Amino acid sequence: MNPGLIGGLAGCAIGVIGGLVGTYASIRNTSGPREKAFTIKASIIVWIAGAIFLALLLLLPSPWRFLVWIPYGIFLPLGIVTWNRTQRRIREEESETKAPEPGS
């Protein structure tokens, strides 16, 4: 095998492992059941969208595959902002519904 292929495969593996660790940490750091359910669903959507994006980059012919970056560049930031707002709203709603600690 040539060094470029080995480096590409190793980089891909490291990236996927980093994504899995990040996904695990995001789910683990949720505060309540609704927030956890939302984070799991959102994570699944992000992993599927990422796989579709990469498949299109690899499968489309050369002039067309560059156009895939346009929706990616638009929807990625919008998705991040929407995820953060929704997670914050759910976290606030869950903290309001929690019963106060006894003796406080």
pLDDT of residue 46: 96
Nearest residue to 42 via CA among 7, 9, 85: 85
pLDDT of residue 35: 96
pLDDT digits (tens, 9 = 90+) for 34-51: 999 999 999 999 999 999
pLDDT digits (tens, 9 = 90+) for 53-90: 999 999 999 999 999 999 999 999 999 999 999 999 99
pLDDT of residue 86: 97
Nearest residue to 35 via CA among 82, 83, 91: 91
What's the pTM?
0.83
